[in-house]
């Protein structure tokens, strides 16, 4: 009996030793294995502007397409962090969440102009570029009951009455600010530029006639134009846009050589893996191929411009160089 007990004890001891040796010699989980579990929790999609603007509409539409088509097993939660012409939101992503593949954001013109003017501590170099999806033009708009039927009438009044005419824009470092100051310079006028926190506030200002006119992207203004509450006097594209806005002249054809548009895409913090970048690229590539997304782009007079991570990174470098040339126009 005692011999049997000793044999059992020795056997259990051997089994314990064997299991310990196997555990010690088991290969550690590789980065590839860890990445294969991605994503394991919800994404936070930061919009560095207030609700209702072009960036907000872009992101909310994109994340809805992803959710409706079940392209990601984890939800993408949109969070607005406005302030500082976008610098607060972008700093939150770049500085507070390095290496975090669950923190994403969109880009707009102040993504590039902010750091160039010293008003943002982070630049495009502080982000991992995921994908660009489209280019969004700007419209120069007045309220539907404005006395100005054409841009020529508005600028004639501005020339006759310096600083009487005011324009609403999404921020002092945006595409519309550059367009405003370029137009002022080329038309020989003196007007007032009034920066707001985002497109929603700009729309309220135009419709309430708190400013004479303002700038909005087609995605922001389309519904109000269709409802007869806003009227477009000019568009910032090189050629006229199609559809309902086909009769709106370009600034260029009106004699002002100004062509401006915003590239819209997705970025993440630095330090995320190549596998995670590829996963996100695939998700947004599939979203961009859906009928819902293509309809959104067409209905809002955007130009589909798909760029992968590498292409988008190079494009950001080009955009930054372009804006650097324009900063002297807006007094920087």
Give the model confidence (pLDDT) of 247-257 as tens digits. 999 999 999 99
Domains in the chain with CATH codes: 40-135+262-326 (3.40.190.150), 139-245 (3.40.190.10)
Mean pLDDT, rounded, of the chain: 88
pLDDT digits (tens, 9 = 90+) for 30-70: 444 445 689 999 999 999 998 888 899 999 999 999 999 99
Answer yes or no: pTM beyond 0.85. Answer: no
- Hey, what are 175's tokens? 């595409």
pLDDT > 90? residue 21:
no
Given a contact cutoff of 8 angstroms between Cβ atoms, the answer to whether 48 and 88 are in contact is yes
Nearest CA to 129 out of 109, 112, 107, 108 is that of 107
Residue 325: its pLDDT value, please? 80
| CA-wise closest residue to 47 among 60, 58, 56 | 56
How many beta carbons lie within 10 A of that of residue 149, not counting itself?
Answer: 11
pLDDT band at 5 (very low <50, low <70, confident <90, very high): very low
Please give the full DSSP string across 75-114, using - where no structure is assigned.
-EEEEE---GGGHHHHHHHHHHSTT-TTEEEE--THHHHH
H or E stretch including 18? helix 2-25
Kindly tell me if the per-residue pLDDT of 118 is higher than 80. Answer: yes
**Residue 222 — very low, low, confident or very high, per pLDDT cuts 50/70/90?**
confident
């Amino acid at each position: 009996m005692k011999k049997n007990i000793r044999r059992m004890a020795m056997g259990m001891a051997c089994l314990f030793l064997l299991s310990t040796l196997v555990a010690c010699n088991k290969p550690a989980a590789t980065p590839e294995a860890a990445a294969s579990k991605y994503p394991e929790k919800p994404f936070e999609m930061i919009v560095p502007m207030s609700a209702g603007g072009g960036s907000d509409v872009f992101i909310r539409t994109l994340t809805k397409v992803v959710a409706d088509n079940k392209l990601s097993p984890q939800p993408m939660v949109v969070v607005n962090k406005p302030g500082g012409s976008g610098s607060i939101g972008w700093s939150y992503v770049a500085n507070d969440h390095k290496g975090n593949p669950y923190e994403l954001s969109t880009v707009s013109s102040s993504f590039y102009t902010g750091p160039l003017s010293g008003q943002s501590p982070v630049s495009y170099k502080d982000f991992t570029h995921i994908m660009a999806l489209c280019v969004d033009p700007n419209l120069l708009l007045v309220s539907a009951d404005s006395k100005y039927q054409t841009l020529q009438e508005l600028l004639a009044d501005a020339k006759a009455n310096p600083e009487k005419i005011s324009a609403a824009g999404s921020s002092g470092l945006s595409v519309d600010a550059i367009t405003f100051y370029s137009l002022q310079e080329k038309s020989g006028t003196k007007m007032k530029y009034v920066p707001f926190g985002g497109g929603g506030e700009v729309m309220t200002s135009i419709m309430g006639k708190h400013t004479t006119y303002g700038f909005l992207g087609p995605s922001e203004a389309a519904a109000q134009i269709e409802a007869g509450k806003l009227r477009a006097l000019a568009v910032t594209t090189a050629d006229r846009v199609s559809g309902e806005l086909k009769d709106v002249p370009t600034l260029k054809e009106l004699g002002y050589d100004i062509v401006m548009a915003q590239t819209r895409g997705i970025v993440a913090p630095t330090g995320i893996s190549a596998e995670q970048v590829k996963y996100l690229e695939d998700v947004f590539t599939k979203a961009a191929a859906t009928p819902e997304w293509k309809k959104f782009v067409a209905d809002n007079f955007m130009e589909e411009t798909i760029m992968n991570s590498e292409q988008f990174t190079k494009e950001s470098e080009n955009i930054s160089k372009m804006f650097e040339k324009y900063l002297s126009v807006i007094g920087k």
